[in-house]
Chains A and B, each alone.
Chain A
Amino acid sequence: MSDDKEKTKEEFEPKIIAFLCSWCSYAGADLAGVSRLQYSANIKIVKVPCSGRINPFYILKSLQQGADGVWVSGCHPGDCHYLTGNYFARRRFTILKRLLEYIGIEEGRVHFSWVSAGEGQKFAEVAREVAESIKKLGPAKRLVKK
């Protein structure tokens, strides 16, 4: 983190962990790549079977271990490969997001989206949006374990 302090906000390159479901959003990322769409290189992708597989701890642990932001993406409601995984995930994320913001983690550290396998364009757009908003916030300091 000491390197980040010396850099100005313009230069700051955030570390963003993206948890993508393997059936929709990961395929969407693939499509964005195949279509040669430009999106932020700050995003490091972790492929998970379903957005319902994402334990809130994954998000917390990422923030604790030095990620500046987290992005979670899954299939659109109704399109889940496992039929209902993302519905359960949605409730969990609603509570988690509200709790994190309540505790004082800045709004914009954690992002959620639905991206289907056909939405390469949307993937690139959301990726840019996520990266920009986290860049604006600067390096994460609150939950980071020193």
Chain B
Amino acid sequence: MSDIQQQIQEHAKKLLSDKTVDLFIGYKDINEPMLTEPAFIRDAKDADQLIWNPFCEHNLAKYLVGRNEKIAIVAKTNDVRSIVVLINEQQVIRENLTIIGVNCDDVIDRKKVEAEMDGKDITSAQIKDDKLIVKAEKISKTLKIKNYLHDSCLDNKRDMSEICDIIIGEKSSCKTEEDKYAKIRELEQKTPEERWEYFKKELSKCIRCYACRNACPLCYCKSCFVDQKFPNWVGQTTDLSDTMCFHIMRALHTAGRCVDCGACVRACPNGIDLRMLTGKIEKDVKELFGAEAGLNPETDNPMTSYKEDDPEDFIK
């Protein structure tokens, strides 16, 4: 682990001192257990702040839009796919970008760990080989890291090394992709009433903080539909109808673009499983239009292209 960290620091020093890039975006430590924050390094002297550990969960692609400078960015496999979408949508200029691909085999899901701690606040967390030692008030637990990884990391194992400029760490050692839509298929089999109850329960947790939108690397509109007043597309309340409309629309806006990086789920303070919505669209787009986002910067977005023989059995 520290080996990857050392390599990131070395690359940062080199890229910044020979002026290949103006800005290096990576992760740095904050004094909170199990958390890191994005680091924006402009001076080679500060490169020592950069870290790499299983808590580097942010999708840094979020910070690329709207910057007109040469940037190097640390990107996990899924983050690389987000960057590819941004390049495809002409939000980021590829030539200005140095992508440092890091294999994201072990990014820990904080919420899964917190669930083990009987609702107590975690006071410290340490990594020891493949184990995580977490401490809370009067509790200390040693957990196997591989049981506490993010679902979005487990479900998406792609080799994105062709896109990256620099690759750190060995290739992903994770198993082949299982049926990532199993949970969605299971829900699809249920009756409309059961599905409605599921989403009612899930989405009534929403407090409309828009953290999911703010964390999403693809939400870069200057004015978002939720902030618009004329027309007022969606009410600013936590009324179920309003939250539903917000989430349906947010999911629809990611259609054909979402790479399932899981940033929205990680950002949600109330633990709403938003991947059940975006994943459904991702699955449909894949099944119906044969497209997957973020694999190739050259391919068209499936929602802004068409085929004359697209399925239309639902149209009278």
Residues of A within 8 A of B (CB): 56-57, 60-61, 64, 77-78, 84, 87-88, 90-107, 111-114, 126, 129, 142-146
Inter-chain contact A88/B249, CB cutoff 8 Å: no
Give 9 closest A-B pairs by Cβ, nearest first: A104-B196, A87-B306, A113-B316, A145-B241, A104-B195, A112-B315, A104-B192, A103-B199, A98-B284
Among the interface residues A56, A61, A91, A97, which one has the most CB atoms of the partner chain B within 10 A? A91
Residues 185-202 of B, flagged 1 when their CB comes within 8 A of A and 0 if not, give 001100011111111100
Inter-chain contact A56/B249, CB cutoff 8 Å: yes
Inter-chain contact B195/A103, CB cutoff 8 Å: yes
In the complex, what's the smallest C-beta–C-beta distance from B235 to chain A, in angstroms? 7
Residues of B within 8 A of A (CB): 187-188, 192-200, 225, 233, 235, 239, 241-242, 244-245, 248-249, 251-252, 255, 277, 280-281, 284-285, 288-289, 302-304, 306-308, 310-312, 314-316
Given A104-B196, A142-B196, A145-B235, A90-B315 contact (CB < 8 Å): yes
A-B contact pairs, 29 of them (CB 8 A): A56-B252, A57-B225, A57-B249, A60-B245, A64-B242, A64-B245, A77-B312, A78-B308, A88-B306, A90-B315, A92-B303, A93-B314, A94-B312, A95-B284, A98-B280, A99-B280, A102-B188, A103-B248, A103-B277, A104-B192, A104-B193, A105-B196, A106-B192, A112-B314, A112-B315, A114-B315, A126-B316, A142-B196, A144-B241
Contacts of A97 in B (CB 8 A): 314
A interface: dominant SS: helix
Contacts of B251 in A (CB 8 A): 99
Contacts of B195 in A (CB 8 A): 102-104
A111 CA to B239 CA, complexed, in Å: 26
Inter-chain contact A90/B280, CB cutoff 8 Å: no
Among the interface residues B198, B306, B308, which one has the most CB atoms of the partner chain A within 10 A? B306
In the complex, what's the smallest C-beta–C-beta distance from B202 to chain A, in angstroms? 10
In the complex, what's the smallest C-beta–C-beta distance from A56 to chain B, in angstroms? 5
- By beta carbon, the residue of chain A nearest B247 is A103
In the complex, what's the smallest C-beta–C-beta distance from B233 to chain A, in angstroms? 5
With beta carbons under 8 angstroms apart, the residue of B199, B200, B306 that contacts A91 is B306
Given A113-B315, A113-B316, A91-B248 contact (CB < 8 Å): no
Inter-chain contact B289/A91, CB cutoff 8 Å: yes
In the complex, what's the smallest C-beta–C-beta distance from B191 to chain A, in angstroms? 9
Inter-chain contact A95/B196, CB cutoff 8 Å: no
With beta carbons under 8 angstroms apart, the residue of A77, A102, A111 that contacts B187 is A102
A103 CA to B202 CA, complexed, in Å: 11
A106 CA to B196 CA, complexed, in Å: 9
Known: A87-B308, A145-B241. 10 other contacts (CB 8 A): A60-B248, A64-B242, A88-B306, A90-B310, A91-B303, A111-B316, A112-B316, A142-B196, A144-B241, A145-B242
A114 CA to B248 CA, complexed, in Å: 25
In the complex, what's the smallest C-beta–C-beta distance from A123 to chain B, in angstroms? 11
- By beta carbon, the residue of chain A nearest B190 is A104
Inter-chain contact A84/B252, CB cutoff 8 Å: no
Contacts of B310 in A (CB 8 A): 87, 90-91, 94
Inter-chain contact A94/B311, CB cutoff 8 Å: yes
